[in-house]
Structure 1
Amino acid sequence: MGRSVQWMVLVIFLGLASSLAAAERSLLVDSFSGRVDAKGLPQGWELKENSGKAEFKLEREGNNWFLRLRSENSSWTLVKEVDVDIREYPILTWRWRVTKLPEGGDVRRKETDDQAGQLYVVFPRFPEQIRSQIIGYVWDSVAPKGMVLDSPSANPPPTKIVVLESGEEKLGQWVTEKRNVYQDYKAFFGGDPPRLKRISLWINTQHTKSSAECHFDDIIFRKP
């Protein structure tokens, strides 16, 4: 084997090793690369409509694909089943962009509990409808950024809401979020967390009878 061939083999080997190491440090939920199933849903996701009609689409900007959610006096979610040990992969990162906030939305009151951007992580416990533990990260219209509260609409199961973004300051901009879900779970529920089994992307405007739009991309769990 010539030196040039040996060098090429070494480069390929190192590249594969680096890719494998990077993969072991992260778990990709979705980067929305344009693939849809027979129902037009992003592959691996399930649609649940609570009221009104869901509007969603995979869209492209340059070489990048993302998921667009839109709500018009409606409430619905896209759900993906996962299996994550957040003790090993505690860091959750994602990008989102809100282009329209629901007018009058305010997570602090049930009658105005509408948000454009909502990402929920679900820890199922039997019976799920009563005992599951849920953390929601939201982009609210007016509630203070950094606020943590019990969901005014979930009764039961117990749902903690974290306001990560608020208002129009970053409207139309891609924002990258990073949360230590393990630390959040310990702070909100205590004890040792079960495996995280579900991711839910939600949008709703039925309380305020308004409209909203949010885009999602690159949802990833990572090691510290």
Structure 2
Amino acid sequence: MRTAKTVVSLVLGAMGVWSAVVLPSSVQAPSQIMLEDFQAKEADGFPAQWEHESQRSRSKGRAAYKVQADAGFNYLAVRDAGQRIKKKNIDWDPKAYPILVWKWRLHKAPNGVEPIVAVYASLDTDLLFIPVFTKYVWSTSKAEGTLTEGGMFSGSEIVVQSGMSAVGQWVEERVNVYEDFKRIHHHEPADKAWGISIFAGPGVDVDIGPIAAMTAR
């Protein structure tokens, strides 16, 4: 008789970011959840279920953000965006899954662009229902670990990658978004996160790999 096990595969192609997880059925929660794997796209290549920050620049955004595949591995190719896109209504409890994991690969960035690229984690909203986010950035010159607290609308920024030495390489990031939120905002986030966003500066060419949330264990 087969044992009651469910195999959840989150192996992501050539990158090998996450390995398969074997779970006893109805006993153990998964150690990670996929927030975006860039498997679904619209007819023009824009990632499905993502929205533009501004409808005024919608046409440029659709041209800038395209889902692509390389050896069976899907990623988001961003070319000269200069704007942010967002994905909300994700079933994500940041307290249970506090570690945000992704990879990005920078191809080029003009001098003076700051930040080059950023991944936003929005774990709550304020009293006006505006998302409260932490922005994890690849900076041109700021040192890794630099924290810049934001104002009412800008959000706080943490540098996780700096400089141009890693151009052309996939670089993995792992950040504890739950602890960062508490450290910056001094209270617990919502039980369900608002969502995630991606920004790339003007003239920047960068690829973003799948984004997952993991337990702290």
Q: TM-score, structure 1 length as denominator? A: 0.77
The residue type paired with residue 146 of structure 2 is M
The residue type paired with residue 118 of structure 2 is Q
Name the residue aligned to 2:158. 162
Counterpart pick for 2:66 among 32, 35, 57? 57
- SS of equivalent to 2:183: helix
Mark the CA change 1:23 to 1:204 in structure 2 (over 3 Å): closer, same or farther: farther
- SS of equivalent to 2:153: coil
Deviation at 1:156, TM superposition (A): 2.3
Who wins on radius of gyration, i.e. which is larger?
Answer: 1
- SS of equivalent to 2:164: coil
> Is the Cα–Cα contact under 8 Å of residues 45 and 67 in structure 2 kept in the other structure?
no
- SS of equivalent to 1:29: strand
Name the residue aligned to 1:44. 49
> Is the Cα–Cα contact under 8 Å of residues 76 and 202 in structure 1 kept in the other structure?
yes
> Is the Cα–Cα contact under 8 Å of residues 149 and 184 in structure 2 kept in the other structure?
no
Deviation at 1:204, TM superposition (A): 2.2
Mark the CA change 1:42 to 1:204 in structure 2 (over 3 Å): closer, same or farther: same
Deviation at 1:16, TM superposition (A): 3.9
Mark the CA change 1:63 to 1:40 in structure 2 (over 3 Å): closer, same or farther: closer
Deviation at 1:164, TM superposition (A): 0.6
The residue type paired with residue 70 of structure 1 is R
**Structure 2 CA distance for aligned equivalents of residues 172 and 139 of structure 1:** 14
Mark the CA change 1:83 to 1:148 in structure 2 (over 3 Å): closer, same or farther: same
Deviation at 1:70, TM superposition (A): 1.4
The residue type paired with residue 77 of structure 1 is R
Name the residue aligned to 2:99. 91
Name the residue aligned to 2:117. 117
Which blocks of at least 5 consecutive residues in structure 1 are unaligned? Answer: 1-5, 106-113, 206-210
For these two proteins, the number of residue pairs brought into alignment is 194
> Is the Cα–Cα contact under 8 Å of residues 118 and 138 in structure 1 kept in the other structure?
yes
**Structure 1 CA distance for aligned equivalents of residues 211 and 29 of structure 2:** 14
> Is the Cα–Cα contact under 8 Å of residues 58 and 66 in structure 1 kept in the other structure?
yes
Which blocks of at least 5 consecutive residues in structure 2 are unaligned? Answer: 9-21
Name the residue aligned to 1:149. 148
Counterpart pick for 1:26 among 20, 29, 32? 32
Deviation at 1:56, TM superposition (A): 1.7
Mark the CA change 1:184 to 1:53 in structure 2 (over 3 Å): closer, same or farther: same
Mark the CA change 1:16 to 1:164 in structure 2 (over 3 Å): closer, same or farther: closer
Counterpart pick for 1:199 among 193, 196, 201? 196
- SS of equivalent to 1:57: strand
After the TM superposition, which residues 177-196 of structure 1 pair with which residues of structure 2 at under 5 Å, given as runs? 177-194=173-190, 195-196=192-193
Q: How large is the Cα RMSD of the aligned pairs?
A: 2.3
> Is the Cα–Cα contact under 8 Å of residues 48 and 78 in structure 1 kept in the other structure?
yes
- SS of equivalent to 2:213: strand
What percentage of residue pairs aligned between the two structures are identical? 24
